[in-house]
Copies of this chain bind each other. A is one copy, B any other.
């Protein structure tokens, strides 16, 4: 019952980057050290994030990462989508897979509410919003 490490790390990275969105590029070494995320894993993840279009990377000396669009316009769900962790409508706790109106599994009714809350949480929260709360780790 957790997001994948890739999604977890990506959210933390981008949330951290919000604070520097107008000031400077953040490079992988700095992100890795302050967020305590393995450097090589971080770069692998960020390469995917860059390919998704959320972030721009500048290669070479003095390079780093910055947002491709304002973090106020980036929904958390967009990050999850990159790693295929977005919660789909048909996704079930029990993961049976053939969930339609006809045949629902034993926990279906009670699962709907927390599922929708999580979908809402991910689809409506922007990076800007969540970065404003909590501490920066």
Specify the chain B residue showing the minimal Cβ separation from A86.
B1
Bound CA–CA A5/B93 (angstroms): 10
Is A68 located at the chain interface by the 8 A CB criterion?
Answer: no
**A95 near B134: Cβ-Cβ < 8 Å:** no
**B121 near A134: Cβ-Cβ < 8 Å:** no
Size class of the A contact interface (CB-based, 8 Å): 35 or more
**A125 near B105: Cβ-Cβ < 8 Å:** no
Is A118 located at the chain interface by the 8 A CB criterion?
Answer: yes
- A85 contacts across to B, CB distance below 8 A: 1
**B107 near A11: Cβ-Cβ < 8 Å:** yes
When all copies of this chain in the complex are counted, the total is 2
**B1 near A3: Cβ-Cβ < 8 Å:** yes
* CB contact list, A1-34 vs B, under 8 A: 1-3, 5, 8, 11-12, 15
Bound CA–CA A57/B12 (angstroms): 47
Specify the chain B residue showing the minimal Cβ separation from A3.
B93
Bound CA–CA A132/B8 (angstroms): 37
Q: Give the shortest distance, in Å, between A98 (CB) and chain B (any CB).
A: 8
**A111 near B103: Cβ-Cβ < 8 Å:** no
**Given the interface contacts A15-B106, A107-B121, A121-B110, does A2 sit within 8 Å of B93 by beta carbon?**
yes
**A95 near B8: Cβ-Cβ < 8 Å:** yes
